[in-house]
A and B are shown apart, each in its own frame.
Chain A
Amino acid sequence: MDEVKVDKKINIKGLVCPYTFVKAKLAIEDMEVGEVLEILLDYEEASRSIPKSMEDHGQKTLKIEKINDTDWILLIKKEKE
């Protein structure tokens, strides 16, 4: 995987839907177009639903990675205001 410059990180472990997406969306709203958000989460469904919802909102998923038994890392690039 190419090195991607991460501009902002959030840890939403312990949260479930829809708050996982609420937190991710609020984080990306405060960023500039072109910047990348890293999301650390432990709710499996959100590892699928956040990328899908982000794409629906015009953002781009760069990475979905399971990093251990419980956690995922997502990288989302902001492409739309």
Chain B
Amino acid sequence: MEFTEDQLQRYSRHIILPEVGGKGQKKLLNAKVFIVGAGGLGCPVGYYLAAAGVGTIGIVDNDTVEISNLQRQIAHNTNRIGKLKIESAKETFEALNPDVNVIGIKERLTHLNIKDLMKDYDIVVDGTDNFPTRYLINDACVMMKKPLVSGAILKFEGQLTTVVPGEGHCYRCLFEEMPPAGLVPSCQEAGVIGAITGVIGSMQAIEVIKLILGKGDVLKNTLLIYDALKTTFRRVKVPKNPECAVCGASPTITELKDYDAGYCRL
């Protein structure tokens, strides 16, 4: 594949980076990334991946745009209130970069559909707002050996980690079981500072880009915690748990199931 003149100009600041070059840019154009959620994190992740020329972006969500989303979900806008988030995101990302094919999937992920929806993608990005889906994605990624870039935000705090199956920890090594329903407040209950989704989402996009390029060090065996009030980043070591229920030597979770135990869906 040769670059068009437009592509040379569009990606020139990538191509001149030693870590990217023409070869790296072609890897980006050929990459397929699956984003779960077209909300606070999915918007910046998808936006930057589209800008970077990631050729295929699948994005799954079944909500519509609400005015209360717009304080942080930057791929949507006021004119799109009531529209499906996947349609709004597709419109925004493809308008930014026509090289990118955005596949919107109007679904909720379940143990029945997740493997089929993810199977054609190279990398998975978790931008969900609830624990049942987060654990479902982790378990599916471990079973399907797909790298997972997981992000979470609440109030003035954000977290980020990257799971590379077979090479490091998984989300269950970090948090073995999900917290009981009601223990952890949601964005709706606790609030969230809008711009933090941009910080964490942008870092998720960079983790994805590094995985595609095969350059740098991703957050394997590491949880990165950002405290926006103190403006501090903290790296916490997360060793792989040899007895992890899903990625350990003798896993007890070998089939997917839904973990929807009394969680309110946002």
Contact = CB atoms under 8 A, between A and B. Distances in A.
Whether A and B are associated in the same complex: the answer reads: yes
Interface of A: 18-19, 21-23, 25-26, 29, 53, 56-58
B21 interface: yes
Contacts of A26: 3, 8, 15, 21-22
Interface of chain B, main secondary structure: helix
Nearest to B5: A19
22 contacts: A18-B12, A18-B13, A18-B16, A19-B8, A19-B9, A19-B12, A21-B16, A22-B8, A22-B12, A22-B15, A22-B16, A23-B8, A25-B16, A26-B3, A26-B15, A26-B21, A29-B21, A29-B22, A29-B23, A53-B16, A56-B18, A57-B18
Contacts of A56: 18
Contacts of B18: 56-58
User: How large, as a class, is the contact surface on chain B?
Assistant: 10 to 19
Contacts of A25: 15-16, 21-22
Given A26-B21, A53-B16, 17 more contacts: A19-B8, A19-B9, A22-B8, A22-B12, A22-B15, A22-B16, A23-B8, A25-B16, A25-B21, A25-B22, A26-B3, A26-B15, A26-B22, A29-B21, A29-B22, A57-B18, A58-B18
A56 B8 CA distance: 21
Contacts of A53: 16
Interface of B: 3, 8-9, 12-13, 15-16, 18, 21-23
Nearest to B9: A19
Nearest to A15: B8
A4 B15 CA distance: 28
Contacts of A21: 16
Contacts of A18: 12-13, 16
Nearest to B21: A29
Contacts of B3: 26
A21 B15 CA distance: 9
A30 B122 CA distance: 26
Nearest to B13: A18
Contacts of A57: 18
Contacts of B21: 25-26, 29
A29 B16 CA distance: 11
A21 B16 CA distance: 7
A34 B252 CA distance: 54
Contacts of B22: 25-26, 29
Contacts of B23: 29
Contacts of A58: 18
Contacts of B8: 19, 22-23, 26
A57 B19 CA distance: 10
Contacts of B13: 18
Contacts of A23: 8
Nearest to B18: A57
- A-B complex: 9 closest residue pairs judged by Cβ atoms: A26-B22, A22-B12, A22-B15, A57-B18, A29-B22, A18-B12, A21-B16, A18-B16, A29-B21
B21 to A, nearest CB: 6
A58 B21 CA distance: 13
